[in-house]
Amino acid sequence: MSRDTTRRRLLAGGAAAAVTALAGCSGLTPFVGKRVEETRQLALDGSTALSVETDVGDVTVRGDDREDVRARIVKESSTADADVSKLRLRVERSDGTLRLRSEWTGGDVQFGSRPAMNLVLEVPRSLTVESARVDTGSATLRDLDADATVIANTGDVTVERVDGTVSAEAETGSVTVRRPGTISSVRAETGDVDVDVPALSDDASVTTATGSATVSVAPDIDAELIALVDTGDVDVDGLTLDDVNRSEASVRGTLGDGGPELRVESDTGDVTVDALR
């Protein structure tokens, strides 16, 4: 037997032993997290708007052909000593709004974080989303025919096919808005923003403090465009601008016949404005 062959066999044996040892360790470490799921049907009882808020967990609001709200609730904890039964969905109705909020009554959790509540809400398409607010987690809105406001403190925001006026904000995270009816304010403090603007009914803004701003504008829109950067590049492409005023840090001009102001701005990052396809 050659010296190289012997060495290869020794290495192979060592690797197999290491895998066996790791497998043994894995077998001695059971999964200690908790996960509880439930589904609830919530009557609107005359409510025409929705407000939903979670402290920890993701929120998804999805429009559907229905007359009530179907709530899929997933409560999760990464520790064994957290009582997920102390995390509940509080339901209230007032002033024409169905109000949903995650509520934790279990106090501080030792050696771990507080349990999370993830919500998937199937709602009537015509239901206005007065507010969808997440403290730690992502927020997603899809397939609605009404106005919507969505805010995430730490997490990403995604809005798709909301045929109303959209307002979206993330303190730490990215914001993506696809195929809205129109927008009001889209903002990220630390993160990128990527927004479609098919129409404008009033002044609107797309801004980020630290991150890039990309805005795709309908070629036939009537608006006054202002694109600004503090530190970064600004580029406007594929759109016909009249009365253009350009500098290294800004582009200003009239789209179509002019109208509401569309302001696109980044303090630290690039700004790109192009034609919506």
> How large is the average pLDDT for residues 138-161?
98
**Cα 262 from Cα 226, distance rounded (Å):** 6
DSSP state of 109: P
pTM of the model: 0.85
**Cα 274 from Cα 16, distance rounded (Å):** 56
- CA Rg value for the chain: 25
> How large is the average pLDDT for residues 107-127?
84
* Percent with pLDDT over 70 in the chain: 85
Cβ–Cβ contacts within 10 Å for residue 118, how many?
20
User: With 0-12 CB in 10 A as exposed, 13-18 as middle and 19+ as buried, what is 68?
Assistant: middle
Residue type, 139: A
248 pLDDT more than 80 = yes
> Would you state the pLDDT for residue 13?
45
Q: Which two tokens stand for residue 215?
A: 């805005």
pLDDT-derived band at 8 (thresholds 50, 70, 90) equals: very low
Q: Which H/E stretch holds residue 4?
A: helix 3-27
Look up tokens 């990403």; give the residue: 156
| Residue 243, phi-psi category: left (phi > 0), alpha (psi -120 to 50), beta (remainder) | left
Q: Which H/E stretch holds residue 24?
A: helix 3-27
Which candidate, 134, 161, 129, 135, places its Cα nearest to that of 147?
129
> Would you state the pLDDT for residue 105?
86
- Are 264 and 273 in contact by the 8 Å Cβ rule? The answer is yes
> Would you state the pLDDT for residue 32?
52
* Percent with pLDDT over 90 in the chain: 79
Residue 194's DSSP bridge partners are: 176, 214
Among the listed ranges 102-111, 172-181, 188-197, 231-240, which one has the minimum average pLDDT value?
102-111
6 pLDDT more than 50 = no
Q: Which two tokens stand for residue 30?
A: 């059971």
Q: Could you report the per-residue pLDDT of 9-52, keeping only the tens digit for each?
A: 443 444 334 333 334 443 444 445 788 999 999 999 999 999 99
The count of C-alpha atoms lying within 13 angstroms of the C-alpha of 272, restricted to the half-sphere facing its C-beta, is 14
